[in-house]
Amino acid sequence: MPSQRILSGRGLVFLAVLVAAAVLVPVLSLAVPPASPFHLSAYAVTLVGKYLCYALLALALDLVWGYCGILSLGHGAFFALGGYAMGMYLMRQIGARGTYANPNLPDFMVFLNWHDLPVTWWGFSSFTYAMAMVLLVPGLLALVFGYFAFRSRVTGVYLSIITQALTYALLLAFFRNEMGFGGNNGLTDFKDILGFDIQSAGTRAALFSASCAALALGYVVAAAVTASKFGQVLVAIRDAESRTRFLGYRVETYKAAVFTLSAMMAGVAGALYVPQVGIINPGEFAPANSIEAVIWVAVGGRGTLVGAALGAVLVNWGKTFFTGVFPEYWLFLLGGLFVGVTLFLPQGILGLVDRLTAPRRPEPPAERPVAPDEQVLPAPVAE
């Protein structure tokens, strides 16, 4: 029977590493004295925690791109929306401790001379409500956007371009003060989360462990989805969309469903990211961010899930390293990565590993090559 096991050996190793990190890192950070060579600084914990959030974003992107062929250049928008939902909760937690000591309004609203809390902010004092929004806002946007786009059969690069336009439009919108999300400066100066000081080493370690847990959960969900018949249909859509349709599958429903699931995962990633970096601003909507996330997936190996997470951590570790040592060369390197991976390593690192370790195994999933004359786009110059 073609039903697959949900967790491969590689997946189990990945989960084991995450569990170990979730336990060990807090211990090394909190219980080991600072003098010890095994001590982890709060900075290091937060840095790696940030990578894990990126890894979850990459996982979400891999689910749609690697398995369903939807290259979203707007996943940063879902990440940022989740981040804003968390940021709004954190802003409400500040209470009267802001510069203007207004118990009802965040500082920037006082600064704008606002008197009432906008409807969009209602309920964000509640952690439960905020967490629901972390899932619902990106999910709903993805559902509505996906429903219309996929129903109209917007595919391939067209879809990529309009997802990019989506995040660009949100970028412009969130820059506006009138939107009520802090405009240019975004949301920052957070004090505490669930009553714990957001700066303390303990909270940071807890956030780190939560990121590990979210990534692990995200992985299990993604693995279960891709191993199910639903996942097989996704791959079928990726490889031969119209064949799938002529078999009676509602391609748009499948695409919208996986797109929505993926957007919610990205929202969770953003929500965990914000308390760790301490700020969320419209810059997170920048189209460049979304495209950068795509290269993480490509580097690790698309359609592998574990590879996507691995790629996100590797590329971001490289970014931290290079922007520290040779800031002027990082963009050359990142640009080179885009070119090099697409030209020489289309299956990413894990694809390469697979090919080297199991040369007799069939080729890993590839984007279906299209003969030039079969391409969608070339059309005659109009007369």
Partner 1 sequence: MTDPVLTSSLLYLDDVRVSFDGYKALRGLSLVLAPNEMRAIIGPNGAGKTTMMDVITGKTRPDTGTVFFGGSVDLTKRDEAEIANLGIGRKFQKPTVFENHSVDTNVLLALKAPRGAFDTLFGRAARDRRERIDGILRRIRLWDHRARRAGDLSHGQKQWLEIGMLLAQDPKLLLVDEPVAGMTDSETATTAELLREIARDHAVVVVEHDMAFVRDLGVKVTVLHEGAVLAEGPLDQVSADPRVVEVYLGR
Partner 2 sequence: MPRKRMPSTRIVAALLALLAGIGAGLGAARAAPVDDALAHFAADKFPETDVGIDALVASGAPTAPAVLGALSDGRLFFDPGSRKVYVVDAAGTLDDAATGAKAADVTQGGLKKVRLNNAIRSKIAAAVGGLDLVSPDRTKRLAAADTAFAAHDAKARGAVEAALAKEEDPAIKAMLVQARAAIVAASGTGPEAERLDAIATLKARGDGDALNLVDQAGAAPDASPAVKAAAASAAAAIRFTLAVWQALQNAWYGLSLGSVLLLAAIGLAITFGVMGIINMAHGEMVMIGAYTTYVVQQALASSALGGASLLVAVPAAFLVAGAVGIAIERLIIRHLYGRPLETLLATWGVSLILQQLVRTVFGADNRPVAAPAFMAGSFHVGGLEITAGRMWIVVFTVGVFAALQIVLRATPFGLRMRAVTQNRRMASAMGISTGRIDALAFGLGSGIAGIAGVALSQIDNVSPNLGQSYIIDSFMVVVFGGVGNLWGTLVAALSLGVADKFLEPFAGAVLAKIAILVFIVLFIQKRPRGLFALRGRAVEA
Residue 362's binding partner out of partner 1, partner 2, none, with CB under 5 to 8 Å set by partner kind: partner 1
Question: How far apart are the C-alpha atoms of 10 and 313, rounded to whole Å?
Answer: 17
Options 108, 219, 254, 296; binder of partner 1; rule CB under 8 A? 254
Scan residues 278-297 and list those touching partner 2 (CB under 8 A). 287-288, 291, 294-295
Give the range of 48-56, 199-207, 231-239, 346-354 binding partner 1 by CB under 8 A: 231-239
Options 1, 35, 119, 343; binder of partner 2; rule CB under 8 A? 343
Beta bridge partners of 334: none
Q: Does 240 bind partner 1 (CB under 8 A)?
A: yes
Instruction: For partner 2, give the closer residue by CB, 130 or 149.
Output: 149
Calculate the alpha carbon distances from 352 to 143, 226, 309, 316, 349 in Å: 34, 21, 16, 20, 5
Instruction: For partner 1, give the closer residue by CB, 125 or 228.
Output: 228
Options 46, 164, 203, 262; binder of partner 2; rule CB under 8 A? 164
> How buried is 334 (Cβ within 10 angstroms: 0-12 exposed, 13-18 middle, 19+ buried)?
middle
**Least Å from the CB of residue 3 to partner 1:** 7
Question: How far apart are the C-alpha atoms of 62 and 306, rounded to whole Å?
Answer: 9
Question: How far apart are the C-alpha atoms of 180 and 174, rounded to whole Å?
Answer: 8
Instruction: For partner 2, give the closer residue by CB, 116 or 328.
Output: 328
**Least Å from the CB of residue 67 to partner 1:** 10
Q: Does 169 bind partner 2 (CB under 8 A)?
A: yes
Question: How far apart are the C-alpha atoms of 119 and 138, rounded to whole Å?
Answer: 18
Q: Does 306 bind partner 2 (CB under 8 A)?
A: no
Buried b / exposed e over 152-165, threshold 16 CB at 10 Å, is: eebbeeebbebbbe
Options 121, 168, 230, 322; binder of partner 2; rule CB under 8 A? 168
- Taking Cα atoms as reference points, which of 1, 65, 68 lies closest to residue 244? 68
In sequence order, what E strands does the chain have? Answer: 187-188, 192-193, 196-197, 279-280
Residue 97's binding partner out of partner 2, partner 1, none, with CB under 5 to 8 Å set by partner kind: none
Q: Does 380 bind partner 1 (CB under 8 A)?
A: no
Residue type, 327: P
Scan residues 223-242 and list those touching partner 2 (CB under 8 A). 241-242
Q: Does 235 bind partner 1 (CB under 8 A)?
A: yes
